Amino acid sequence: MTNGQSTAQTRVFSGVQPTGKLHLGNYLGALKKFVALQHQHECLFCIVDLHAITVPQEKGQLADNTREIAAAFLAAGIDPDKAVIFVQSTVPAHAELAWIFNCTAKMGWLERMTQFKDKAGKDKERASVGLFAYPVLQAADILAYKATHVPVGDDQKQHLELSRDIAERFNREYDAPKFFPQPEPLIQGPGARIMSLKDGTVKMSKSDPSDLSRINMDDTPEKIAKKFKKARTDPDGVPASTEELLGRDGARNLIGIYAGLAEISQQQVLDQFAGQGWGVFKPALADLAVAKLTPIAENFTRYQNDPAELDRILSVGTQKAAAISAPIIAEVRDIVGFWKN
């Protein structure tokens, strides 16, 4: 991929949690990249419901939220004939390998994970053991398929490093050199870190209490325009060079969003708008976002209205994913030295 590996040796894996509506950060940081990758590589895109239950979920919502992510994948342009779309809990390999990796990973490695610290908050004692072991399950997701490349947003960098450490330690511990590959994160690009529209120093997130902080994938054009209009910037207008965006978090975020949506570099955005005020830039950004997101929102509604088709696609995905991971898990069992019947 980046280092000239041929497609035959690459396998792409990524996961998204079924925990509510997707936003522009999920789209630019993950889904949009998935769509591009499916044309050149074998891809598996997983709805990670086992990860979702590491924190309490609304009762009775999990299956619907799972279908919702499937609908979003398809609406964004993932083609189920090209990529495998499936649900994590339907392939037992994930939980099985996660247990084995729980015995490979060290407490100290997990204690360093910033996402755990953020999500557990002050009262660590009340966090679930699952939340602590979350990144171990993520490593199992990737390595149950010996995936080589993992497209994710910047917030997943540390988890990917842990996956690499687990792969390396397992190989060493069990004297199985090169059994698991070192999965490479695919994080680059302007969409990798989309920040809150209200505060350019924190990432755009589902869990932000303010809806004005994010563009949801199904926001109406009016809402999108309003949210960008209210987005935090600064009194200076659009600068001419990316260096001049340093320290201007809100401004840089909006330029990055434009670049991600238009598929051009930040400098190209600046070339187009340098010297303009935000009163000119923001409506242009809103128009671009509406043009890109409206067709996806329409497709999304269409898929949401056909749960039988979503279920059919997910069932096929389960079969395909299980067929890829089964021989890998059989080998793992052999390497660990479990009794066989």
Is 142 near ligand AMP (CB under 6 A)? no
How many residues interact with ligand AMP (rule CB under 6 A)?
15
Residue list 16-35, contact with ligand AMP (CB under 6 A): 16-17, 25-26, 29-30
Q: Which is nearer to ligand TRP, 142 or 321 (CB)?
A: 142
Q: Is 119 a catalytic residue?
A: yes
* Token pair listed for 209: 């209490």
Distance of closest approach, residue 193 Cβ to ligand AMP, in angstroms: 5
* Token pair listed for 108: 């100290």
Distance of closest approach, residue 151 Cβ to ligand AMP, in angstroms: 7
How many residues interact with ligand TRP (rule CB under 6 A)?
13
Distance of closest approach, residue 93 Cβ to ligand TRP, in angstroms: 13
Q: Using CB under 6 A, which of the segments 12-20, 189-197, 292-300, 333-341 binds ligand TRP?
A: 12-20
> How far apart are the C-alpha atoms of 321 and 142, rounded to whole Å?
12
Distance of closest approach, residue 39 Cβ to ligand TRP, in angstroms: 20
**Residue 97 CA from chain centroid, whole number:** 21
Is 156 near ligand AMP (CB under 6 A)? yes
Helices (H), the chain: 24-26, 32-37, 49-52, 62-76, 93-102, 107-111, 114-120, 129-143, 157-173, 221-230, 249-262, 266-273, 278-304, 307-336
* Token pair listed for 247: 């320290």
Residue list 173-232, contact with ligand TRP (CB under 6 A): none
Is 74 near ligand TRP (CB under 6 A)? no
Instruction: Please identify which residue in 135, 153, 183, 190 interacts with ligand AMP, judged by CB under 6 A.
Output: 153
> How far apart are the C-alpha atoms of 26 and 28, rounded to whole Å?
6
Is 183 near ligand AMP (CB under 6 A)? no
* Contact between 213 and 204 (Cβ < 8 Å): yes
Q: Which of 71, 77, 88 is nearest to 31 (CA)?
A: 77
Q: How far is CA 93 from CA 64, 152, 303, in A?
A: 23, 22, 28
CA angle 192, 196, 202 (to 5 degrees): 80
Residue 138 site contact among ligand TRP, ligand AMP, none (CB < 5 to 8 Å, cut-off depends on kind): ligand TRP
Q: Which is nearer to ligand AMP, 22 or 100 (CB)?
A: 22
User: Would you please indicate which residues are annotated as catalytic (active-site) residues?
Assistant: 119, 203, 206
Instruction: Please report, as ranges, the residues that interact with ligand TRP according to CB under 6 A.
Output: 13-15, 17, 48, 51, 138, 141-142, 150, 152, 156, 159
